[in-house]
């Protein structure tokens, strides 16, 4: 039976890749990438020569049919996203959903590794026995309700936020839950990795406009 491996790749530091992930990327027939140019950096670093094909959020149903065709012809595939674990707030889960729905004979195999959500949670110091991951905060519609719901939440909450809205998010947190503790994780595993901890107003004072660059995960308890 053909395999499609769902391979976690680094969220920044290219050393954060498992030996098994490297072996699988070398052994498969095709690597499906969210962005082939982005994944090329990783493949080049480990001298992996493999055929790549793009699969991203704008991929049409014809692309999924092509992937199904490859699997049905006995090819082994790997799916990677730009960062972390495919499917966690990225288009990978759509492909897995389609493959499950098409009920073709294929093994969907996880190759575990980094994910920004778990990395942030692991350094938060907040309860981890029960937590809620909310994906990306909504841009506009539903944004107020999003923060109101977090205010009511008893469990640790984690979400992803764009750098353009991080200051706005800090404002909402000061408004809706000034007494909660937050951890703002910026650029995890990268050169400018920074972690800010405190009440929302304390963190807001620590983050300067120049530091509102890069990728962010927010953890709240």
Question: 83-112 mask for ligand SAM (x: CB under 6 A)?
Answer: xxx--xxx----------------------
What would the 3-class secondary structure string for the chain be? CCEEEEECECCCCCCCCCHHHHHHHHHCCEEEECCHHHHHHHHHHCCCCCEEEECCCCCCHHHHHHHHHHHHCCCCEEEECCCECCCCCCCHHHHHHHHHHHCCCCEEEEECCCCHHHHHHHHHCCCCCCEEEEEECCCCCCHHHHHHHHHHCCCEEEEEECHHHHHHHHHHHHHHCCCCCEEEEECCCCCCCEEEEECHHHHHHHCCHHHCCCCEEEEEC
Which member of 143, 190, 197, 199 binds ligand SAM (CB under 6 A)? 190
Which member of 39, 52, 59, 81 binds ligand SAM (CB under 6 A)? 81
How many residues of this chain bind ligand SAM (CB under 6 A)?
A: 21
211 lies in the site for ligand SAM, by CB under 6 A: no
216 lies in the site for ligand SAM, by CB under 6 A: yes
- Shortest distance (Å) from residue 73 CB to ligand SAM: 28
Contacting residues toward ligand SAM, per CB under 6 A: 11-12, 81, 83-85, 88-90, 115-117, 160, 185, 187-190, 215-217
């Amino acid at each position: 039976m053909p395999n499609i491996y769902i391979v976690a790749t680094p969220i920044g530091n290219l050393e954060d890749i498992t030996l098994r992930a490297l072996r699988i990327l070398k052994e498969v027939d095709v690597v499906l990438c969210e962005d082939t140019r982005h994944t090329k950096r990783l493949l080049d670093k480990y001298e992996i020569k493999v055929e790549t094909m793009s699969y991203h959020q704008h991929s049409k149903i014809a692309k999924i049919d092509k992937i199904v065709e490859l699997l049905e012809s006995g090819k082994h595939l790997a799916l990677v996203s730009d960062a972390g674990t495919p499917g966690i707030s990225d288009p990978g889960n759509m492909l897995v959903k389609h493959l499950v729905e098409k009920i073709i004979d294929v093994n969907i195999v996880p190759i575990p590794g980094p994910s920004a959500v778990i990395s942030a949670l692991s350094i938060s110091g907040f309860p981890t026995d029960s937590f809620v991951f909310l994906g990306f905060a909504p841009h506009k519609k539903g944004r107020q309700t999003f923060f109101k719901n977090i205010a009511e939440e008893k469990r640790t909450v984690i979400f992803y936020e764009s750098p353009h809205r991080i200051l706005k998010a800090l404002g909402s947190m000061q408004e809706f839950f000034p007494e909660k503790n937050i951890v703002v994780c910026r650029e995890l595993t990268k050169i400018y990795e920074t972690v800010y901890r405190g009440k929302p107003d304390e963190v807001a004072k620590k983050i300067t406009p120049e530091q509102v660059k890069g990728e962010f995960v927010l953890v709240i308890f």
